[in-house]
């Protein structure tokens, strides 16, 4: 049996004295796409960032392919939120994608032509072949998101952790990202996305982790993404929720 790409055991994270994640347990199944869903401030991004060791966790254990992150690093790729960087930085799209190859290039060695070729291939995979030499501030928001995705693709990882890749992107970008998710899944790779749009969870993902400080429910979308579980996750914001659920059943989603 293959090891779970990501296993989180009673992970707790606190900012100052405020608890953000509380005893989170989660297992991500290999070769599937998983959405982490929850209200604002539920700790969705924090979960990913703590799992990767970007922020200190108060307690708990995170295993990637059965080992600590430091040992599984080459098999894991991270797509941060687009807003986390300054896009005015003096590099072009290809330079950013090449950053995904820096570990493979190694310390102190420059990016060579074969790496640039790999970066261009990754850009082509997200439909940005013509934008390789475009300065990154001159890309639209959706294109910037795709550049980040291409950088992760260039890493050729087995597990992709993406922080809100679908957040305020244009439709062309949405299609390009979906295409990539399908292809990664077809190659047996695993994808975990922080996702905010309840309408599309059923269409885009196999599994879902409903998070609000702690895991409310986790499992396949068909079994887990129920009205009852969503109510538990989102609490009082019912009217909004009912709308989303109604919408989902209209589309022939898992709830009827």
Partner 1 sequence: MDALWRFLLLQDHNTRVVLAGACLFGAAAGLVGTFLLLRKRSLLGDTLGHATLPGVALAFLLAHAAGLSTRSLPILLGGAALAGVAGVGAVLLIRRISHIKDDAALAIVLSVFFGAGVTILTAVQQLPGGASAGLDHFIYGKTASMTSADATFIFWASLIVFAGCTALFKEFALLCFDESFAKAGGWPVRSLDILLMALVILITVVGIQAVGLLLVVALLVIPSAAARFWSDRLGVMAGVAAAVGLASSAAGVAVSAILPRLPAGALIVLSSAALFAVSFVFGTRRGLIVRSQDEHRAVKRLRREHLLRAIYECAEASGNAAAEKPVPVASVHEKRPWSARELAREIESAAEAGLLTTTPDDAQVRLTTRGFAEARRLVRNHRLWELYLLHHAEVAPGRVDRDADLIEHVLDPRLVAELEDLLDAERRRAFVPGDPEKLSP
To the nearest whole angstrom, how small is the minimum distance from the Cβ of residue 74 to partner 1?
Answer: 9
The binding site for partner 1 (CB under 8 A) comprises: 49, 52-54, 70, 73, 76, 78, 80, 84-86, 89-92, 95-96, 99, 102-103, 105, 107-108, 110-111, 135, 140-142, 151, 168-172, 174-175
The count of other CB atoms within 10 Å of the CB of residue 50 is 23
**Contacts of range 125-129, beta carbons closer than 8 Å, 24 or more positions apart:** 125/150, 125/153, 125/180, 125/183, 126/150, 126/153, 126/176, 126/177, 126/180, 127/172, 127/176, 128/93
Task: Look at the block and give the residue holding tokens 């899944």.
Answer: 185
The residue among 23 and 174 lying less far from partner 1, judged by its C-beta, is 174
Query: How would DSSP label each residue in 6-72?
Result: EEEEEEEEEETTEEEEEEEEEEEPTT-EEEEE--TTSSHHHHHHHHTTSS--SEEEEEETTB-HHHH
Least distance (Å) from partner 1 to the CB of residue 172?
6
- How far apart are CB 220 and partner 1 at their closest, in Å? 27
Token pair of 106, please? 């190694």
Q: How far is the CB of 105 from partner 1 (least distance, A)?
A: 7
Nearer to partner 1, 2 or 140 (CB): 140
Q: Considering the complex, what minimum distance in angstroms separates the CB of residue 71 from partner 1?
A: 10
Nearer to partner 1, 65 or 78 (CB): 78
CA proximity to 245, closest of 28, 117, 233? 233
Shorter beta-carbon distance to partner 1: residue 98 or 217: 98
Nearer to partner 1, 152 or 208 (CB): 152
How many residues can be counted in the chain? 256
Beta partners for residue 78, in sequence order? 161
Q: Residue 89 or 235: which CB sits closer to partner 1?
A: 89
Token pair belonging to 241: 């929720």
Cβ of residue 232: shortest distance to partner 1, in angstroms? 26
Nearer Cβ to partner 1 (58/85): 85
215: DSSP letter: E
Residue 199: CB minimum distance to partner 1, A: 10
Beta-carbon count within 10 A of 250 CB = 8
């Amino acid at each position: 049996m293959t090891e779970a790409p990501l296993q989180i055991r009673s992970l707790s994270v606190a900012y100052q004295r405020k608890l953000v994640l509380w005893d989170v347990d989660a297992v991500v199944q290999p070769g599937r796409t998983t959405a982490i869903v929850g209200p604002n401030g539920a700790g969705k991004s924090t979960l990913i960032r703590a799992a990767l060791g970007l922020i200190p966790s108060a307690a708990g254990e995170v295993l990637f392919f059965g080992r600590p992150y430091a040992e599984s690093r080459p098999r894991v790729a991270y797509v941060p939120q687009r807003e986390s960087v300054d896009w005015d930085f003096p590099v072009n799209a290809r330079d950013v994608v090449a950053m995904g190859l820096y570990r493979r290039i190694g310390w102190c060695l420059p990016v060579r032509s074969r790496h640039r070729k790999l970066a261009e291939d990754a850009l082509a995979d997200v439909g940005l072949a013509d934008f390789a030499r475009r300065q990154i501030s001159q890309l639209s928001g959706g294109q910037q998101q795709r550049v980040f995705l291409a950088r992760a693709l260039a890493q050729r990882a087995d597990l992709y952790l993406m922080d809100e890749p679908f957040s305020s992107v244009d439709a062309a970008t949405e299609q390009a990202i979906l295409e990539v998710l399908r292809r990664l899944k077809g190659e047996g790779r695993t994808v975990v996305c922080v996702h905010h749009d309840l309408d599309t969870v059923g269409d885009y993902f196999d599994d879902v982790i409903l998070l609000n400080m702690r895991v409310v429910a986790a499992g396949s979308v068909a079994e887990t993404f129920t009205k009852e579980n969503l109510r538990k996750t989102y609490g009082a914001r019912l009217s909004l929720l009912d709308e989303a659920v109604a919408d989902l059943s209209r589309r022939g989603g898992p709830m009827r």
